[in-house]
Amino acid sequence: MDFGIKGKVALVTGGSRGLGKHAALSLAGEGVNVAISGRTQETLDKTVGELKDLGVSSVGVVADVSDLPSAETAHKQVVDSLGAVDILVNNAGGGRPSSTVADTSFENYLGTFNLNLFGAFKLMQLVIPNMQAQHWGRVVNITSIYGREYGGNVSYTSAKAALIATTKHAGVTLAKDGVLFNTIAPGSISHEQGSWERFQSDNPPDVVEDFIKNNLPMGKFGWPEPVGDLVAFLASERANLITGACIVVDGGQSYSLI
């Protein structure tokens, strides 16, 4: 199947490892020139090498997207290196130790929003004008099943829910301009250096087995390739009627009916 995006330029935040890396690899497999951002030059360089091996142009940018000036600088570096961004994948995110409203500091809450929402919001604002001008653009935001239903700590679930709402609003209001916005909500996906890999290594086997039995209908943790391939599909010409959607990739883990 030809996705019709060969030669486009993509920016994937948090793209040096995990879900972001697999999204970048899937896009590169479709002939997309891919820029990735991350916090560690060595990891970025390794992934950029893998992307270039697929025959596309690629660049790695050291950036902390939770810091808005850093996000803006990263965007400029990408445009200077590869050209205007046609496809934005906001993948960088994560939680901070907290639990309830009562025991979460405002600094913790704000920091989680900076990482999961405000950096993504800033990058969306930066790429939208060119996408509108060319009447074509794709934004895919990686959220979580815990942005759709109860789960996780208060700061993380709140930030992910806000990102889903922001994406829905953008998808509706910019549909007429040919700029499509969607979210992907993964469940418990295990990948190298990820939180679910740490969960499995840090807990006794019986705790891990109980979690799988009680939460994962497939009897195992998810894996990142389906998320990466869905990113490429949503970025493609084949998905040109899909906008404002939130698609779950969780092996049946979540409880929501909608």
Known catalytic residues are 156
Question: DSSP secondary structure string, 160-203?
Answer: HHHHHHHHHHHHHHTGGGTEEEEEEEE-SB--TTSHHHHHHHHS
Phi, psi of 94 (to 5 degrees): 150, 170
Q: What type of residue is 41?
A: Q
Closest CA to 154 of 220, 216, 105, 88: 105
Residues contacting 27, CB < 8 A, separation 6+? 5, 10, 12, 34, 87, 89, 231, 232, 235
Closest CA to 84 of 126, 48, 51, 142: 126
Q: Is 21 helix (H, G, I), strand (E, B) or coil?
A: helix
Residues contacting 155, CB < 8 A, separation 6+? 95, 96, 98, 104, 108, 109, 111, 112, 113
